[in-house]
A and B are shown apart, each in its own frame.
Chain A
Amino acid sequence: MNERKDVPLRVRLAMLLRLLAVQGSWNYETMVGTGIGFCLEPALRLLPGGARGERYRNALARECEYFNAHPYLCAVAVGALARAELDGEPRERIERFRTALCGPLGALGDRLVWASFLPLSSVAALLAFGLGAGPVVVTLTFLALYNFGHMALRIWGLETGLRRGLSVAQALAAPALQRAPMRLGQLAAALAGMALPLALHRLIGPGRALLGVVLLAVLAAGFALARLRGRVEGWKAAVLVLTGFVLLGVLA
């Protein structure tokens, strides 16, 4: 194995910037594979022989193969794979590691970001809206909260991957990280309870005269959708209801 190589700051910044476009060529065959190669490329130029060398070409070819994970946690994979390539780990070991990473990074990212942090940021913005905030405050509340977490996760992932290399799994198993989706979910549930009546009250405007009927309808619709548990998507059902209502509004 070669001596451990430092990754200069400009290369780490280039990787971080490219990570924002990791899904640029997402497709049903290689998934995010080409994107991983694209993000790793600045680090691979540090291999002996540079961008024209055989090790660079072999590594780039390997890193463009099939890969699937949560886009933000791809940063962990990119950092760890860069470290492994620069440390001269054997090809078979890198390929096994690459395959093993997909599942945990996908599962953790989906639970942590899509199912917890994004809804939390969404209900926080709706709460600001319900409390009467204007367009600037509402959009900034959402963007500042969400992107603080989003960018922190990407930066942490890249740095942790670069530092730990093939032993990055220990960092992913940290209790704080594993518990985070549950904690965020609890906070989101409380904020949702707070935001829904306030947002509804502001949105309904001239319809306040019908507030009692609307609240009953909301409870019935929410209960029905909850009972159906994913068999019906609410927004699709809403298209049908609203189409009927618009036709009624025009033809009545």
Chain B
Amino acid sequence: MSPIDVAVVALLGGILGLDTVGFPQAMLSRPIVAATLGGALVGSAEQGLLVGAALELFAIETLPFGASRYPEWGSSSVVGGALLASRPEGEPGSLTFSVLVALVVAWAGGWSMMQLRRFNARRARRRLESLAAGNRRAVMELQLGGLTADLLRGFVLTAVAVSAAFPLQQAVLQQWSLGAPVSRAVVVGVAAGVALGATFKLFHNVPGFAWQFMVGLAAGVLALLAV
């Protein structure tokens, strides 16, 4: 990838990283959207969608409650989508590697969001007197400064991840020795297992959960047989 390509992908990662919490929280940062956009930017929205759907299965269990630490899916999914879209369709190991990198970047993104929250707290502490005096400028500086820092956070995270992961992907896939069926089956099995566990964790308290889920499952299996 050329530096310009990295910058363009990083800009998308920055914008979608900002969406996670800062602005506008429209869930453009969900994997199924962000990875598709990342893939489209590199030339294959279809490949981006594939990794986005796999990551979305992991993301079902993420509950972004206030102060808790959770994976940052926006920037990481852009990286995952861009990685898979840069490889030939169906290449053994490529989906596995893209998903793994996206999960690691999501973890790093969660850590970087915590650092940003501490940074925002330091900035707010320095302006306590101005805030207590009802100074409009202090409020604007804090808010716009926080948004800018969040955008930069996502940009830098994506740029570093893309710069490191593309050469690593090349090296890993050159050495990959397992066949396409088993490579794909493992990553999809792991993702679906996490999604199944998350569904139970989220909804087991809902009255009639087992029935609702089983009826849905039966309809899904029937649709599968029909297709």
Given A110-B65, A207-B180, A221-B190: 11 more A-B contacts, CB < 8 Å: A25-B123, A27-B120, A27-B123, A28-B121, A60-B135, A132-B227, A146-B26, A189-B212, A196-B220, A222-B193, A234-B58
Provide the bound-state CA to CA distance between A186 and B207, in Å.
Answer: 8
Contact A243 B33 (CB under 8 A): no
Complex interface: chain B residues within 8 A of A206 (CB): 90, 180-181, 184
Asked whether any CB of chain A lies closer than 8 Å to the CB of B10, the reply is no
Complex interface: chain B residues within 8 A of A236 (CB): 107
Contact B190 A238 (CB under 8 A): yes
Query: How does the 8 Å CB contact mask read for B43-74 relative to A, with 1 for contact and 0 for none?
Result: 00110111001101111111111110001000
Among A132, A193, A196, A202, residue most surrounded by chain B Cβ atoms (within 10 Å): A193
Contact of A24 among B23, B191, B202 (CB under 8 A): B23
Q: Is the interface of A mostly helix, strand, loop or mixed?
A: helix
Contact A34 B139 (CB under 8 A): yes
Residues in A lying within 8 Å of B, measured CB to CB:
20-21, 23-31, 34-35, 37-38, 41, 51, 56-61, 64, 68, 70-72, 106, 110, 114-115, 118-119, 121-123, 125-126, 129-132, 134-136, 138-139, 142-143, 146-147, 150, 182, 185-211, 213-214, 217-226, 228-230, 233-239, 241-243, 245-246, 248-252
Contact A246 B123 (CB under 8 A): no
* Also in contact, A225 and B198, with CB within 8 A (given A207-B184, A235-B106): yes
Asked whether any CB of chain A lies closer than 8 Å to the CB of B164, the reply is no
Asked whether any CB of chain A lies closer than 8 Å to the CB of B100, the reply is yes
Contact A30 B124 (CB under 8 A): yes
Contact B33 A142 (CB under 8 A): yes
* Also in contact, A129 and B223, with CB within 8 A (given A196-B195, A229-B201, A242-B96): no
Contact A203 B188 (CB under 8 A): yes
Asked whether any CB of chain A lies closer than 8 Å to the CB of B4, the reply is no
Contact A126 B56 (CB under 8 A): yes
Complex interface: chain A residues within 8 A of B136 (CB): 41, 51, 60
Complex interface: chain B residues within 8 A of A31 (CB): 66-67
Contact A182 B206 (CB under 8 A): yes
Q: Write the chain A residue with the least CB distance to B24.
A: A20
Contact A182 B58 (CB under 8 A): no
Interchain nearest-CB distance for A72 vs B (Å): 8
Contact A233 B61 (CB under 8 A): yes
Count chain B residues whose beta carbon lies closer than 8 angstroms to a beta carbon of A.
Answer: 114
Q: Is the interface of B mostly helix, strand, loop or mixed?
A: helix
Contact B193 A234 (CB under 8 A): yes
Residues in B lying within 8 Å of A, measured CB to CB:
21-28, 30, 32-33, 36-37, 39-40, 45-46, 48-50, 53-54, 56-67, 71, 90, 93, 96-97, 99-100, 103-104, 106-107, 117-118, 120-121, 123-125, 131-136, 139-140, 142-147, 150, 172, 175-178, 180-204, 206-209, 212-221, 223-224, 227
What are 27 of the A-B contact pairs (CB < 8 Å)?
A: A20-B25, A20-B26, A23-B25, A24-B143, A24-B144, A26-B117, A29-B124, A56-B134, A114-B65, A122-B30, A131-B223, A190-B216, A193-B199, A193-B216, A196-B220, A199-B53, A200-B188, A202-B53, A203-B50, A221-B194, A222-B200, A225-B196, A225-B200, A226-B196, A237-B194, A242-B103, A242-B187
